[in-house]
Structure 1
Amino acid sequence: MNDRLKALSDAGVSIWLDDLSRERIETGNLAGLVKDKSVVGVTTNPTIFAAAIANGERYDEQVAQLVDKGEPVDRVIFELTTEDVRNACDILAPVADSTAADGRVSIEVEPALANDTEGTIASARALWTAVDRRNALIKIPATREGLPAITAAIAQGISVNVTLIFGIGRYREVMDAYLTGLEQARDAGLDLSRIQSVASFFVSRVDTEVDARLEKIGTDEALALRGRAAVANARLAYAAFEEVIASDRWRLLAEAGANPQRPLWASTGVKNPDYPDTLYVTDLVVADTVNTMPEKTLDAFADHGALEGDQVTGRAGAAQTIFDQLAAAGIDFDDVLVVLETEGVDKFKKSWDELVETVKGQMDKAASV
């Protein structure tokens, strides 16, 4: 067991791997990460699946079978990805059985549905049914249209990973959507203890966008604020989470058996080489959170990550000061959030297109054999 990762886990941070492939599953790599590197969950996205399918032969047999059946590309994608997630869920099942909220594996609704509430609900239900594992999480984006889909999915007993959250205002709406779904599930007689959720707050993309604007402004005051917005934003998000957990509304749900919707720090791979490669791990340590990391970040923390105690609780005031300074320097953070969400949805859709093209190529290869 890696000592640094174990210490991070002992500090209350659930370490999830932001990657999955059939090779990881079948070679025992994923099980090894659980055993040796404190990994207790997995997140996926279409880009991750595209890389896995393009770079290995472990999907060839299933692709060939589906091509022989005449299945279209979207159905082939559905079958390949749900099988991987189902098998990963089985590997993580002992973790899910022994912990309150970990051992989870996420799979995303089709990104083209990001602005389609009913389509998202139908996709979430189909994925949940196909994976057929209690420790699965269905990823739903926190778009305006995604909010009622989150409520509907939770109300039906589907566990949800809410993704693509950037701003505090939208995050509060996400938490409200979760609580509303729990209330509906409770009123329908569902067992709330079986419903899990995380709220994925994207981190590094905030610094990427804000830093570019600060560099364009170019003043000493502006340049001094580079690399500070993302962590401050996440700390304010955690303060909002604490407010909700302290509310009477949450207390009633908790008494009915509900699980809290933990904040999850996503996009934690550092984009700027001038910053420490473990920045979005070390500076966001706080209990009852998840940090989902690409393997490069996981290995970096295992090698040289510093654990400096709780870096989040009680720091909302200082975080707000950063945003006051950003505003004074000329940063319109509301516009930053609009750009990030728009670009985020667009990247999700392009990621899906990449997956479609990759699978089409595999299908063409199988058909030519």
Structure 2
Amino acid sequence: MTDTLKQLSDAGVSIWLDDLSRERLTSGNLAELIRDKHVVGVTTNPTIFAGALSDGKAYDAQVRELAARGASLADTVRELTTTDVRNACDLFRDVHQASGGVDGRVSIEVDPGLARDTDATAAEALDLWKTVDRPNLLVKIPATEEGLPAITQTLAEGVSVNVTLIFSVERYRAVIEAYLAGLEQAKANGHDLRAIHSVASFFVSRVDSEVDKRLDAIGTDEAKALRGEAAVANARLAYAAFLELFQGPRWEALAADGANRQRPLWASTGVKNPDYSPTLYVDQLVVSDTVNTMPEKTLHAVAEQGKITGDTVTGTADAAQAIYDRLSAVGIDVSDVYRTLEVEGVEKFDKSWAELLETVQGQLDAAKS
């Protein structure tokens, strides 16, 4: 049988799982995915933790212990989530070492309620880094306008960052600028640039969901012909920006000091529309120096029916731009699409965080009764 996931890995795509729970860790499921499915990293977000803590009894013992100590709700959430992330970091230790620090990464996100507060985001990012205390951690910071300077501040402290909630190539260019500025400050602060890693997480499927909805509302044959085209084209344009901006004198000066390029990461790669191939956002985004973080359902779909035919991204920028020209021509306000997606993204994570707090408060109350 063809090992499709190995083909993907061999093509230079790091396969990360977009999920984490106490159950995955204690059952051996995550270790099995590392061993058998070429998984070399994990991403989490507030939605993932909200689901994990509301499902099953895996956290009950730790909640009872924290309740007995009189821990606050905030401290309890911090303990539960950072414990999972720390243990996952330990599980990936060998992968991290074997890859020279590139992979074996586990991400944890700052409180999404801080997405519009630069200083609070940077402070929490540093606190999470110190609390987890593992070199293969990535702290997730959203690429809001307020998040950009927080990214720079966090990197300047020597902290590795996963920049999340990126939708537009324009914002991605600002993220790369924030990354380069952070590395320059980290160097000035005496940090070893070789130890600082970063990924820039492009949310893929959500772009198609929003654009397709608008194309359907326009309703013309020309508009409908563009359904399912925007997300892959957007990611391909992002990769072209990655190649463009990680070269030249400024980057070369940092690279000479051991700096690592900030790899593009394809996030939200589970297909939302059942009419599309379940492996669409994997097969069509195969290119070296990238990460694809997948829900387990997508991971298994790729293993069973993915078609990895080599690089499907390099050299596609002109064709991708042509798709966006056509989208504009039929009446899609692309800038408004991205604004909408960013606002919705922050709101969704805020809602998930509120659900997480409510779940844990209920567990604390039950433990005290």
Same fold (TM over 0.5): yes
Which consecutive residues of structure 2, in runs of 5 or more, have no partner in the other structure?
Answer: none
**Does the residue aligned with 1:200 lie in a helix, a strand or coil?**
strand
**Does the residue aligned with 2:309 lie in a helix, a strand or coil?**
coil
* Counterpart residue type for residue 351 of structure 1: S
1:293 is aligned to 294
Moved more, 23-32 or 124-133: 23-32
* Counterpart residue type for residue 67 of structure 1: A
2:194 is aligned to 193
1:228 is aligned to 229
Is the Cα–Cα contact under 8 Å of residues 163 and 199 in structure 1 kept in the other structure?
yes
Q: How far apart are 1:163 and its partner, in Å?
A: 0.2
Write out aligned runs for 1:1-369 (5 A).
3-100=3-100, 101-368=102-369
| CA RMSD of superposed structures (Å) | 1.0
Q: Tell me, in whole angstroms, the C-alpha distance in 1 between the residues paired with 2:336 and 2:311.
A: 31
Is the Cα–Cα contact under 8 Å of residues 140 and 146 in structure 1 kept in the other structure?
yes
Report the number of matched residues: 368
Q: Tell me, in whole angstroms, the C-alpha distance in 1 between the residues paired with 2:194 and 2:2.
A: 32
Is the Cα–Cα contact under 8 Å of residues 221 and 329 in structure 1 kept in the other structure?
yes
Q: Tell me, in whole angstroms, the C-alpha distance in 1 between the residues paired with 2:204 and 2:315.
A: 19
Is the Cα–Cα contact under 8 Å of residues 2 and 36 in structure 1 kept in the other structure?
no
* Counterpart residue type for residue 367 of structure 2: A
* Counterpart residue type for residue 40 of structure 2: V
* Counterpart residue type for residue 297 of structure 1: T
- 1:240-280 per-position Cα deviation (integer Å, ceiling 9, x unaligned): 00001222211111110001100000000000000000000
- Structure 1 segments (4+ residues) deviating >2 Å: none
Percent of aligned positions that are identical:
66
- 1:267-316 per-position Cα deviation (integer Å, ceiling 9, x unaligned): 00000000000000000000010000000000100111111211111100
Is the Cα–Cα contact under 8 Å of residues 118 and 149 in structure 1 kept in the other structure?
yes
Q: Tell me, in whole angstroms, the C-alpha distance in 1 between the residues paired with 2:345 and 2:111.
A: 14
Q: Tell me, in whole angstroms, the C-alpha distance in 2 between the residues paired with 1:341 and 1:54.
A: 26
Which consecutive residues of structure 1, in runs of 5 or more, have no partner in the other structure?
Answer: none
Q: Tell me, in whole angstroms, the C-alpha distance in 2 between the residues paired with 1:352 and 1:257.
A: 37
Q: Tell me, in whole angstroms, the C-alpha distance in 2 between the residues paired with 1:118 and 1:75.
A: 20
- 1:10-30 per-position Cα deviation (integer Å, ceiling 9, x unaligned): 010000000001111112111
Is the Cα–Cα contact under 8 Å of residues 50 and 359 in structure 1 kept in the other structure?
no
Moved more, 62-71 or 98-107: 62-71
Q: How far apart are 1:2 and its partner, in Å?
A: 7.4
Q: Tell me, in whole angstroms, the C-alpha distance in 2 between the residues paired with 1:43 and 1:202.
A: 13
* Counterpart residue type for residue 4 of structure 2: R
* Counterpart residue type for residue 300 of structure 2: D
Is the Cα–Cα contact under 8 Å of residues 154 and 195 in structure 1 kept in the other structure?
yes
**Does the residue aligned with 1:112 lie in a helix, a strand or coil?**
helix
Q: Tell me, in whole angstroms, the C-alpha distance in 2 between the residues paired with 1:247 and 1:344.
A: 34
**TM superposition score normalised by structure 1:** 0.98
Q: Tell me, in whole angstroms, the C-alpha distance in 2 between the residues paired with 1:267 and 1:247.
A: 31
Q: Tell me, in whole angstroms, the C-alpha distance in 2 between the residues paired with 1:47 and 1:180.
A: 30
Q: Tell me, in whole angstroms, the C-alpha distance in 1 between the residues paired with 2:65 and 2:29.
A: 26
Q: Tell me, in whole angstroms, the C-alpha distance in 2 between the residues paired with 1:141 and 1:190.
A: 23
**TM superposition score normalised by structure 2:** 0.98
